Amino acid sequence: MPAYRLKESMNELLSKMIDREVDVLCSGTSSLRGKVVKVEGDVLHLKDDDDNICYVAIDKITAVWEKHDKDRHPGFVFKS
């Protein structure tokens, strides 16, 4: 799939998640949690529990999922 279609797909997905609580994983190790307020251009607007707005560049998002557990944050547990 061409890169421009992937971008459009992520924008469409995030637009369908407006008013939902989500966990967002960005390139690198950054993770964010908040309510999707809106998607404007290439920017996701998230609101945290203190009503602060965070602006996320959509092209930096690698994964997003709906929040299910209040105390669990995105990430993985590795066992050796």
pTM comes to 0.76
Cα 58 from Cα 25, distance rounded (Å): 11
pLDDT, tens only, 2-52: 555 555 688 999 999 999 999 999 987 788 999 999 999 999 999 998 999
Using DSSP bridges, classify how beta strands 31-40 and 21-26 pair: parallel, antiparallel or unpaired. Answer: antiparallel
Residue 22's SS3 state is strand
Are 20 and 36 in contact, with CB atoms under 8 Å apart? yes
Dihedral angle, C-alpha 45, 40, 31, 54, nearest 10 °? -30
Considering the domain 3-66, what is its CATH architecture? Roll (2.30)
25 is written with which tokens?
A: 């994983």
